[in-house]
Amino acid sequence: MTDEALNPASPALPATAELIHQVRAQLRQVIAGQAGVVDEALIAVLCQGHVLLEGVPGIAKTLLVKALGRVLGLGFQRVQATPDLMPADILGTTILVQGSSEFTFHAGAVFTDLLLVDEINRMPPRTQAALLECMEERQVTTDATVRALPANFTVFATQNPVDFEGTYPLPEAQLDRFLLKSRVDYPSAAEERQILELHLAAHSATGSPLLDAAHLQPLALDLLLAARAEVRAVRIEPELLNYILDLVRRTRQWPTLTLGASPRAALSLMRVAQAVAALEDRAYLVPDDVKRAVLPVLRHRIRLKPEAELEGFDPDRILADILAAAPVPRA
């Protein structure tokens, strides 16, 4: 879909159309390709949900999140997960002020808008669990004191799909906190050529890294708030609510699955489908919006039986079968 299609003379959702147009245009200065991942990152910010980015190292996952934060005018912090990372390292700690009996709280990396947790599955389970309250309640409890996180707090966590040595797989309870699981693939040959050209031009012109050389212009926060309100107001007919519930409930009875999607997954599917409709500049939901949302919303929330994995099935293939089996509401 072209930016012109998102920016018509009289868009149905003006704030969302303007936000998408501006973000895509600026991100093209630093990101080549990855249009689907960019859209899913935008959807997460519009829905105020968290994202699990899965892909091999070196395909611009960190660059995408940093650039998105700059364009949206949001704060950014990065945590490199290691096996010895402790909860206090990311949440913060209370320390004694020298020369007094006073204690002061030093905020950790979670006190930001966009938090990138690199290789989250290298965190020990105790530190992974420390993120649960942050992701669900957007708050931190330390020393019996509850501290609110910024209103725009969003976690972008990465994991490598091929390197499992020294990792701690995320438990289902934590996976369920992620609104989306995005798969970041290798770029095409043309996109990889564009990556080289972007970096070469940036270094030749300024000698600065690509992100600094791009001089991205932050958008007004009011535009993001207005776009979120438009997404929440996207109309959903009762038949489409039933369709969403049917898809989620089928995962709990599917013969090749041992774990189906939770009620939280149904809520996430509804919210993301609304955002998909908004990206298409529609103030109402259609079945294709739900279909497009199913894979990123549900692929990390289901578990296959061992025999299904041995037969070559994966979550995306199972979900495609479920989509094919579920009756689609008529207009």
CATH of the domain at 49: 3.40.50.300
What are the distances in angstroms from CA 5 to CA 27, 227, 268? 18, 17, 26
Q: Minimal CA–CA distance to 268: which of 288, 296, 308?
A: 296
Say whether pLDDT at 10 is over 60.
yes
Handedness of CA 228, 229, 230, 236 (dihedral sign): positive
Same domain, 118 and 164: yes
Same domain, 80 and 110: yes
State the pLDDT confidence band at 206, using cuts at 50, 70 and 90. Answer: low
Using CA atoms, how far apart are residues 272 and 46, in angstroms rounded to an integer?
A: 9
Same domain, 36 and 104: yes
Domain that holds residue 243: 234-325
State the pLDDT confidence band at 224, using cuts at 50, 70 and 90. Answer: very high
Domain boundary among 211, 228, 245: 228
Domain boundary among 178, 201, 228: 228
Predicted local confidence at residue 312, as pLDDT: 86
Condensed to tens digits (0 to 9), the pLDDT of residues 286-312 reads 999 999 999 999 999 999 999 988 888
Domain boundary among 228, 258, 274: 228
Average pLDDT, the chain: 89
Same domain, 216 and 264: no
Higher pLDDT, 295 or 142: 295
Per cent of the chain over pLDDT 90 is: 64
State the DSSP H helix or E strand holding residue 149, giving kind and residue range, or none if neither: none
Predicted local confidence at residue 331, as pLDDT: 62
Same domain, 52 and 98: yes
Higher pLDDT, 211 or 321: 321
State the pLDDT confidence band at 5, using cuts at 50, 70 and 90. Answer: very low
Q: How many whole angstroms from its chain centre is CA 87?
A: 22
Same domain, 80 and 123: yes
Rounded to the nearest 10 degrees, the angle between the axes of helix 287-298 and helix 315-325 is 150
Domain count, the chain: 2
Residue type for position 4: E
Using CA atoms, how far apart are residues 38 and 277, in angstroms rounded to an integer?
A: 16
Same domain, 70 and 172: yes
Say whether pLDDT at 8 is over 50.
no
Establish if 330 belongs to a structural domain. no
- DSSP string for 41-76: HHHHHHHT-EEEEE--TTSSHHHHHHHHHHHHT--E
Region 270-278 average pLDDT:
97
Establish if 249 belongs to a structural domain. yes
Predicted local confidence at residue 7, as pLDDT: 47
CATH number of the domain to which 276 belongs: 1.10.8.80
Same domain, 115 and 73: yes
pTM: 0.89
**Paired residues of 105 in beta bridges:** 94
Region 141-148 average pLDDT:
86
